[in-house]
Amino acid sequence: MQGLTILGSTGSIGESTLDVVARHPDRFRIVALTGHRQVERLREQCRRFQPELAVVADAEAAERLRAGLVADGIATRVAHGPEALVEAARHEDAPLVMAAIVGAAGLPPALAAVEAGKRVMLANKESLVLSGALFMEAARRSGALILPVDSEHSAIFQCLPVDERARPQTRGVRRIVLTASGGPFRDTPREALAEITPEQACAHPNWAMGRKISVDSATMMNKGLEVIEAHWLFGLPPERLEVVVHRQSIVHSLVDYHDGSMLAQLGNPDMRTPIAYALAWPERITSGVAPLDLVSCARLDFQTADSQRFPCLELAYRALRTGGTATAVLNAANEEAVAAFLDRRIGFLDIPRLIEAALTAVEVQAADSLETVLAADRRAREFVRRRIGEVA
């Protein structure tokens, strides 16, 4: 039986991971769970899975969780703060770590898990967006296995040969094609995008996701971040990473080989498939996902991603080509802009405008240390907050 830490257990990926784990009680044991400020949800997870450690954001949340668990008769130890997240990631009884904390906050514990040589199931794409070179070098030094959980990167991983350390081999590959649903506004007239509300942006047509990632899908920044992630995971330059819109979300990505072959991974749009694949690799286990009915699918459509409709995608390519801390600036500016949009402080089309302004204004440096990356992240956030304040 393998011990598992879930960083971000109260989010959609964390809950889907627990669903898969519950189907295999003889195979996986929950060692640590982290839930930021979702105290009641984390308390329920602790009642069900009884981990050794539960981590929340601050002392107040920790005290509430601790009191609840005492009342439930659960002996789980409660801790809080960034250092406790790192402790959970490094826990000696958990060789498996699901890294599913959304945003830049997920980088330090995910990197700690890599440095500890864990099998890291990476659902926090920001870890590679902010510090891809540092992250991959840490994995090389420690021998950690990095298994992608994003449906697109899992699909690519499944279509590539890998070595005994799960490192993808791309000899003979012409390009990688990432598929995008196009989000809820793929057919919306461009002139109507200025009036988009947070509720509309969060209503994804194919996937059930959190609010931040739903907005990223609506702007296609999510796909831009995935292009950057694919660059670090698979070692291909930007010009060999392509995005196409595939509205059915059945083909999760493709690998195009020099011999004319194109391999694709297909499945119903359910994150439990890539989660189960990462948990059990190189085996395959049941995930709870219904088998794909090709006849019911009837058709699969593909079209070019419209950079005029989705400027965030081109901004991500721009940051990747620039290199250094530019991708950290991109991510931080996006997080701040999306948060402001969800709070109704800016409009939908202000999101790419603020990101472009940050990429132009914030100095880019070599991403040669975690401190440098996090400093760039802070500068970009401060820039966007000032701009939003000026607009307000």
DSSP annotation of 18: H
Residue 126 backbone dihedrals phi, psi, to 5 degrees = -65, -25
Neighbours of 126 (CB within 10 A): 26
Select the more confidently predicted residue: 389 or 156: 156
Average pLDDT over residues 190-219: 80
Look at strands 262-266 and 251-257 and give their pairing.
Answer: antiparallel
Domain coverage including residue 271: 151-310
pLDDT value for 193: 84
Is 81 within the bounds of a domain?
A: yes
Q: 204 and 237 in one domain?
A: yes
pLDDT value for 207: 58
191 has a pLDDT exceeding 90: no
Q: 265 and 162 in one domain?
A: yes
Please spell the DSSP secondary structure of 362-374, one letter per residue.
SPP----SHHHHH
pLDDT value for 391: 57
Please write the tens of the pLDDT for every residue from 290-316: 999 999 888 899 999 888 889 999 999
**Which parts of 161-310 fold into alpha helices (H)?**
198-201, 211-219, 221-234, 272-280, 294-297
Place of tokens 């801790």: 79
Neighbours of 308 (CB within 10 A): 7
Q: What is the Cα–Cα distance from 312 to 201, expressed in whole angstroms? A: 15
203 has a pLDDT exceeding 80: no
pLDDT value for 208: 59
pLDDT band at 165 (very low <50, low <70, confident <90, very high): confident
Percent of the chain whose pLDDT exceeds 70: 98
Strand partners, 291: none
Of 129, 148, 167, the position where a domain reaches its end is 148
Q: 47 and 141 in one domain?
A: yes
Q: What is the pTM of this model?
A: 0.91
Nearest to 203, CA basis, from 226, 223, 186, 221: 186
pLDDT value for 183: 80
Q: 143 and 261 in one domain?
A: no
Place of tokens 């040589």: 117
Mean pLDDT for the chain?
A: 93
Is 274 within the bounds of a domain?
A: yes
94 has a pLDDT exceeding 70: yes
Q: What is the Cα–Cα distance from 311 to 353, expressed in whole angstroms? A: 9
Counting the structural domains of the chain, the total is: 3
